[in-house]
Amino acid sequence: MRMTASGGLRVDGVVCAALPDGRYQLSVHLVAAMVALRPLADAVRARVERDVANAGLADRLGPVDVAVEDVRAQGEARP
């Protein structure tokens, strides 16, 4: 699990859990800007699916959850 700093706290970055059918469910936790959330989630899922496919593990990827942990205004420093 990778951790991400947010407001002095540590939040889950990426969580990978094994599913009974042999696939793996991914949860990606984001600190996001003020943007439309559905396109953001679609972009994150597309990126994950692309990288997983590049690694030859496309058939092992289950659902990809996207969780918004914090929002930051444009120009605010990244954690």
Interacting residues with other proteins (CB under 8 A): 25-26, 32, 34, 37-38, 41, 45, 63-71, 73
Minimum CB distance to other proteins, residue 13 (Å): 14
CB of 38 to other proteins, least distance (A): 7
CB of 9 or CB of 55, closer to other proteins: 9
Q: Using CA atoms, how far apart are residues 44 and 67, in angstroms rounded to an integer?
A: 11
Distance CA 41, CA 64 (A): 9
Q: Least separation, in Å, of the C-beta of 34 and other proteins?
A: 6
Asked if 33 contacts 45 with a C-beta cutoff of 8 angstroms, the reply is no
CA pair distance 37, 18, nearest whole angstrom: 26
